[in-house]
Structure 1
């Protein structure tokens, strides 16, 4: 019997789509990602001669949080994918809600990434040094981020020293900053950024999203207060239509988050369009997640 064909993000092979594979395929547990705070199972999934690797997060393995209803993180992960797809940016890997070996949970396509260091030390001249030219985060000496970088804030690097945490001035990250503002992401860490070998950027771990209260915590504050791009404003206008009562995105979100949370998404989109600017930290909530990477 020939080996199953691997299927990458967005690809359709014959009549099998990635979502078909994730939703209908047979899950086989291959291991567990133990660094995660909730249960994260590494699996393969096979369907009609196609195969891929995926991450399966069962609802039963979710750790209760004081500010989110129990057993809702998997649905929020799928909702984040739905909003990402509605933007047209494709920033979240294909994600579905399904039954698995440990009950219902979210199933998300595994993304192979570039090999790179997420952080690097500076050389004292304000320029970020990285071991890979495609690095998205860095630590630099001095007060200026250097060309091609945006400042986030000072970070304690030990021995009573601080360094400036910066992220790349990258249009992919800027789109992600807009998406995070829309879905109210409370946990955008550096380790959630997955640059793929084909040049695309994916983002993962969206369980702490869609709260009705302002929970935005992120490493992508470099554009805070700056005008949104024309592209972002056009996307927000499209989201307004997609979020209208009875519209496709609103209908899909209704099965995943509460009516109040969906209305809060609409309100955030309206506010972004009204101000025309990237949001700034509110001061009422820690602006940067911990640990940041």
Structure 2
């Protein structure tokens, strides 16, 4: 019987610019704050992304829908919803790999708002990827479930307590296989008991009357939800991490 390595408390408080903040409190503040005060722009982001401040000195990343560049393979104006959906999946399956993220109005209209996390930096993330650190397995499983088309090293946030989060989930949930990631170290590796339980929970949550399907239905297309349900069933059947597809580039560019 394969056991899972011990992992930090995935619902533990998160390190932010305002100190440690509980996840539920962060969501509450992000939802009720009347103002998002822009204090900077993320210059290297491909879509409009603003660093903003909300109540209590918390900082968030705000990605307005109107600032999204069109993509040939995703419906126009859908990336913010995918960011929010990624958080819902991470929470519902008990993975805890995505910072609190919601859809809400802001200075430039509706968009995704995500808690800004104080983390150990990109170089630490790259070192973990190069070392095939076991702490990345949860993120690799998450990416396989949501069909992440852009897992770069710079999208990985190592926390001081050992947790590892991921950000930039706008190109997820496509119907066609698009998994493109730097996290291939576990390809064809058998799942642990914990991972099997996570997958089984996802299968159950996406049944016709499943709770996760109900959460995702307002923001994702029904075909995209069905495709995720099929991916989860395939993962349960193969009982191992997927191999790269021969029909899609396996690595993002740039890698970081």
Report 1 or 2 for greater relative contact order, CA contacts < 8 Å, sequence distance ≥ 6. Answer: 2
Unaligned runs of 5+ in 2: 1-16
- Conserved? CA contact 1:9–1:109, under 8 Å: no
Structure showing the higher helix proportion among its residues: 2
Structure showing the higher strand proportion among its residues: 1
**Residue 10 of structure 1: aligned partner:** 22
Paired residues, what number?
239
- Structure 1 or 2, whichever has the larger Rg, is 1
- Conserved? CA contact 2:97–2:165, under 8 Å: yes
1:116 deviation in Å? 6.0
Question: 2:212, 2:64 → 1: CA distance?
Answer: 24
Q: Are 2:243 and 1:280 equivalent residues in the alignment?
A: yes
1:244 deviation in Å? 1.5
1:8 deviation in Å? 3.7
**Residue 107 of structure 1: aligned partner:** 113
- Conserved? CA contact 2:148–2:178, under 8 Å: yes
Q: Quick one: which of 151, 165, 169 aligns to 1:188?
A: 151
- Conserved? CA contact 1:118–1:190, under 8 Å: no
Deviation sequence 1:260-282 (CA, Å, 0-9, x none): 00000100000000000100011
- Conserved? CA contact 1:9–1:94, under 8 Å: no
1:198 deviation in Å? 2.7
- TM-score between both structures, scaled by the size of structure 1: 0.78
- Conserved? CA contact 2:124–2:158, under 8 Å: no
Unaligned runs of 5+ in 1: 121-134, 139-148, 150-167
- Conserved? CA contact 2:61–2:116, under 8 Å: yes
SS of residue in 1 equivalent to 2:63: strand
**Residue 131 of structure 1: aligned partner:** none
C-alpha RMSD of the superposition: 1.6
- Conserved? CA contact 1:186–1:215, under 8 Å: yes
**Residue 128 of structure 2: aligned partner:** 136
What are the within-5 Å matches in structure 2 for residues 236-255 of structure 1? Answer: 236-255=199-218
